[in-house]
Amino acid sequence: MANISEVNGRTGSERPLAGQVALVTGGSRGIGKAIARKLSELGAAVSLCARDAKALEKAALELEGLGGRVYAHAADVTRAADVAALVRATEDNLGPITILVNNAGIGNPGFGPVQEKSEEDWNKVMNTNLKSVFLMSAAVAPLMIARGRGDIINISSLAGKNTFAGGALYCASKWGLQGLAGCMAEDLRGHGIRVSLICPGSVATDFSGRGPKDPRKVLSAEDVAHAVGMLATQGPQSFISEVALRPVTKP
C-alpha cells in the first residue's frame, strides 16, 4: 500500500478520481474499508458510514493518515432519516456525491434452513442487504440526475446468482439486489448514471458467513476494492454493468 508521500506525490493520471466524492456504506471494516482506501488512493474524497462509531473513527483516521479527504458519519442505512442526514452531511462536508458504493451487508442470521428462521431474522437480513440499497440509491439518485452524472456500485454476491442449502434468506436478499440494481440501471442510464453490480465469491473477512475459509481459496477485500476502482475509472462511454469475481483456486 502507498504511504503518505506516495499518495500526495501522484500525478493526475495516477489519481483519476481527483475532484470526485465517494460515499461508501459499511465502510468501517472488511470490504468497505478496503474500497474506501482504494477510492482515496485514486484521488476521491471519501465519506464513510457505519453503525459502529468507534470503528468508523478508527477507519477514518487511517485514511486521513494516507493524505486523503475523509468524512465519517455514523448512520443506520436501514433508516430513511439516517440516510437523509448522511447524504446531506456528506455533500456539506465534501461536495457533490459522484460515486455511491452500496456495500453494507450481513450474512447471519441469513444462513440456515428456512424453517428455522424467524420473521426477525428475515427483516434483519432484508433491511440490511436490500432495503438499505433502495434507501441510499433513492436519496442519492436525484442529486446525480440533476448533475447528469454518477456511479452507483452495489456489492452483491455470487449467492445472488446461485442457490445452496441453508442460504434461503441470504440468497433471497442478494437475488433481490440483482433485480433492484438491474432495473435502476435502466431507469438511470439515460441520465448519465451507471448502476453496476459486483458479485464476489467467498472473501477472507470477518463477515458472518457459513464457516471458516481457507485463505488460499478465497478472495481478499482488496480484490473487491480493485473491481470497484475499475468500475469507477472506466471510460465515459463505457458501462460495465456486472462483474462476477471468483478466486483462481476453487474452494
With CA atoms as reference, report the closest residue to 100 among 146, 157, 139.
139
CB contact set of 103 (below 8 Å; sequence gap of 6+):
24, 25, 26, 27, 31, 32, 35, 155
Does residue 35 contact residue 225 with C-beta atoms inside 8 Å?
yes
Using only C-alpha atoms, the chain has a radius of gyration, in whole angstroms, of 17
Q: Specify whether 170 is catalytic.
A: yes
Q: For residues 119, 120, 125 and 130, what is the CA-based torsion angle, rounded to 10 degrees?
A: 70
Does residue 135 contact residue 80 with C-beta atoms inside 8 Å?
yes
**Catalytic pick from 71, 111, 134, 170?**
170
With CA atoms as reference, report the closest residue to 69 among 47, 42, 101.
47
For 221, other C-beta atoms within 10 Å of its C-beta total 21
CB contact set of 134 (below 8 Å; sequence gap of 6+):
180
Residues with a known catalytic role: 170
